[in-house]
Amino acid sequence: MTLKSRIIGCGLYVPERVLTNRDLEEMVDTSDEWITTRTGIKERRIVSGERTVELATRASRSALRGAGLKARDVELLVVGTVTADNVFPSTACLVQAELGMRPGIPAFDVAAACSGFLYALDVADRYIKSGAARTALVVGVDVFSRIMDWQDRATCVLFGDGAGAVVLRQTRGKGGILSSHIHSDGRYWEMLYTPGALTGSPFERRNSPRPYLKMKGNETFRMAVKTMGGAIKEAMRKNRLRPEDIALVIPHQANIRIINAIKDRLGIGNTRVFSNIDRYGNTSSASIPIALYEAVEAGRIKRGDVVLLVAFGGGFTWGATVLRW
């Protein structure tokens, strides 16, 4: 049998501080009613000074505990993030040091915005399938509260902070990742981006822009539905799956209306699509591993189930992963 990678542990960490829609009403010209009906979000978690590496480290500990492994057992660490604390070192190197992982293992970040976790999972899966690693830790972490313009009601109501992680183990069994499909189209970068994270050098005249997220909401919405719908179809075709073969779809949690549009296109019932967007908002790279953790904890995924993960993010980037639990 060919080598595959299987998720043997999931972890999550979200900051304690809850920012509700009512809290946002005090900050910008918005209402709980508008946010709820347009997005499905009721509240989100926001850091109170915690750094990205802290969130990632806590989620990693939780995943390792779930897998019954120690940090030293990990042979590869891939972190999906676009809000690293430093330009370098990578968040992965910081997590490696924090957790006391084995010196010398490959540890690096992958930047694909809200598709970051599926990109990181894709990379780790390919390492494991090729035999280059047997055990990998894959983390999705983002702290978008640091790149929000808290005076822009069109964006600041949508995002939250958090981290999720999984441990992957090489297997020859039936379970595991069946296929992974990642894509990008840089022509659309201006639909969703941050203007810059670096200050201008003394040799340039221009002022460095403020690094706040900018988004064309309606265009992004349409592309998210189109690309995620396409990725799901691609993944289903590859594995010869009918909608009824899929036990649970875990989509990126960006907007409940995007999730519903995908659901309607595919003809998949409510009970087979997971959502926790009401409690976390869009946590970017962390969204899918947080949802996966909660789905497993809630008993929504059983051994042998086919699960489909699908994401979309700035870049644009998008992707889908099919796995047998």
175 conformational bin, left if phi > 0, alpha if psi -120 to 50, beta if neither: beta
Give the one residue of 157, 166, 167, 177 binding ligand COA; rule: CB under 6 A: 157
Which residues partner with 164 through β-bridges?
12, 140
Q: Is 282 a catalytic residue?
A: yes
Q: Which residue has the tokens 């008993």?
A: 299
114 binds ligand COA (CB under 6 A): yes
144 binds ligand COA (CB under 6 A): no
89 binds ligand COA (CB under 6 A): no
180 binds ligand COA (CB under 6 A): no
Query: How many angstroms separate the CA atoms of 274 and 171, rounded?
Result: 27
Q: Is 252 a catalytic residue?
A: yes
Query: How many angstroms separate the CA atoms of 124 and 120, rounded?
Result: 6
Helix, strand, coil percentages (3-state) for the chain, rounded to 5, are: 40, 25, 35
313 binds ligand COA (CB under 6 A): yes
Query: How many angstroms separate the CA atoms of 107 and 56, rounded?
Result: 13
325 binds ligand COA (CB under 6 A): no
106 binds ligand COA (CB under 6 A): no
**Cβ neighbours for 270, distance < 8 A, ≥ 6 positions apart:** 263
254 binds ligand COA (CB under 6 A): yes
The one catalytic residue among 114, 156, 181, 276:
114
Query: How many angstroms separate the CA atoms of 107 and 99, rounded?
Result: 12
Segment near ligand COA (CB under 6 A); pick from 15-23, 163-171, 179-187, 212-220: 212-220
Segment near ligand COA (CB under 6 A); pick from 55-63, 67-75, 218-226, 297-305: 218-226
Closest CA to 254 of 82, 120, 113: 113
Nearer to ligand COA, 66 or 313 (CB): 313
Binding site for ligand COA (CB under 6 A): 30, 34-35, 38-39, 114, 153-154, 157, 215, 217-218, 220-221, 224, 254-255, 282, 312-313
Which residues carry out catalysis? 114, 252, 282
